Amino acid sequence: MNIKEMSQGIHMLSMSIDDMLFEGMWELPHGVSLNSFIVKGEKTAIIDGIIGWDGVPETLYKSLGEIDINPEEIDYVIVNHMEPDHSGWLENFKKINKNFTVLVTQKGGQMIEPFYGDSVNIQVVKEGDSLDLGDGKVLTFHPTPNVHWPETMLTYEASSKTLFTCDMYGAFGSLKNHYFDDEMTEEEMNLYEEEAKRYFSNVLATFSMMVEKAIKKSKEFDIAVIAPGHGPIYRDNPQKIIKDYEKYCQFSKGYGENEITILWGSMYGMTQKAVDYAKDILKNQGIKVNDIQMPQASQSEMVTSVFKSAGIILATPTYEYKMYPPVAHALDELGRKRIANKEVFRFGSYGWSGGAEKELAQIIENHKMKWNFVESVEFNGKAEESDLSKIESAIHQLIENMKNKVIN
């Protein structure tokens, strides 16, 4: 666990994990950080728990001892979000501190007992409620439901103008050497920006309408520092992550960067040859291509790539009267993430009968994805010259269609 002073009386405690699947399913090629915060006035509060604490009391005493805090004397635990990556330490904490109060939203309060038992003092907070810690430190609480669970809220500390946002404004990516945006190189900032897209698409995209509301709410504060539960602390330019999150909400609605993701799969190379042809066309047009072959690519990479692209090419054959399953599963995941209104073109091979096209229509309809398709091109066996010519025309049409969906 690493401890960093953020301002007088406010410390960040951060731990990074490299070898886990986030939510048990999302690959983390660059790891993830789990950030907690201590705010000390005359009383002491901890925001979002001490993630990464191994449950052994000595570890907690040692870590907090570095900033002269006794865990038994922590008065308040602020739970901005009940998901166990932020609250999972509570059960063990109860064993060493018998007299603390948890501050949560009403919905969060209903979750405490099922998750961590009933021997916890709970104080339910609503919009604008405050907690005076003394010594000039006052916390206020601001529910922002469904970012990402229904009980989520923001916590604001006025003297330092710090907004503690938990999942909101978070990013994947371990924090190992640098923790604050003003410490980071351009290369590091670029990495965390890409990791923020991946985090948003993997974890928050389903809730992007509620994230938009939370962005609006966060703009009501005079902000010097944005302190999320995952990723860097923004104190040089907190507006950057707000603007980025506004853009990511638009990605969920079909907008994207000036690039095309080819989401494809192939059994024996018939569809793959047409994919190679499509790549050449896009290269000649100077369009950036994201090559996502299923099932080889991870779900995390697949979702992120489609999420951030203004144009999508689906290249998938028919398999046993339906769509090639790895691509069908990918599409289903994109539907669950409510990635809507994308500009798309599909082509693919079939053997004795089609069927992929029918299942594609079903998936799009089931998830109300409202994707806008250029007319598909299907070919029996390998693509002939006439098929390739149709593919080329359709790609030009896709490039035209995506022009009004590109945002920077």
* Contact positions vs ligand FEO (CB under 6 A): 81, 83, 85-86, 148, 167, 229-230
Task: Using the minimum distance from each CB to ligand FEO, give the nearer residue, 9 or 231.
Answer: 231
Q: Quick check: 294 and 376 in contact, CB under 8 A?
A: no
Judged by CB, which is closer to ligand FEO: 86, or 405? 86
Write down the least CB distance from residue 71 to ligand FEO, Å: 22
Provide, rounded to whole angstroms, the least separation between the CB of residue 33 and ligand FEO: 10
φ and ψ at 195, to 5 degrees? -70, -25
Identify any residues that bridge with 47 across adjacent strands, giving them in sequence order. 37, 78
What is the Cα 182 distance to its own chain's centre? 22
CB of 81 to ligand FEO, least distance (A): 6
DSSP assignments along 169-199, one per residue: T---B--SS--BGGG--HHHHHHHHHHHHHH
CA within 13 Å, CB half, 379: 21
- Select 165 or 376, whichever has its Cβ closest to ligand FEO: 165
Q: Which is nearer to ligand FEO, 81 or 390 (CB)?
A: 81
Please report how close the Cβ of residue 48 comes to ligand FEO at its closest, in angstroms.
9
Q: Report the residue closest to ligand FEO, judged by CB.
A: 83
Tokens of residue 81, six digits: 């979000």
Nearer to ligand FEO, 29 or 269 (CB): 29
How many alpha carbons lie under 13 Å from residue 245 in its C-beta half-sphere? Answer: 30
343: nearest Cα among 251, 245, 272? 251
| CB of 207 or CB of 255, closer to ligand FEO | 207
Cis upstream peptide for 367 (omega within 30°): no
Please state the closest distance from residue 80 (CB atom) to ligand FEO, in A.
10
In three-state secondary structure terms, 8 is coil
SS3 13: strand
CA neighbor of 75 nearest in space, from 117, 123, 112, 29: 123
Minimum gap (Å) between residue 32 Cβ and ligand FEO = 9
Q: CA-CA distance, 126 to 103, in Å (whole number)?
A: 10
The smaller minimum CB distance to ligand FEO, of residues 109 and 170, is found at 170
Comparison of 230 and 342: residue with beta carbon closer to ligand FEO: 230
CB of 34 to ligand FEO, least distance (A): 8
Both structure tokens of 62? 């040692």
> Least separation, in Å, of the C-beta of 168 and ligand FEO?
10
Strands of 175-324, DSSP E? 225-228, 257-264, 288-293, 309-315, 318-319, 322-323
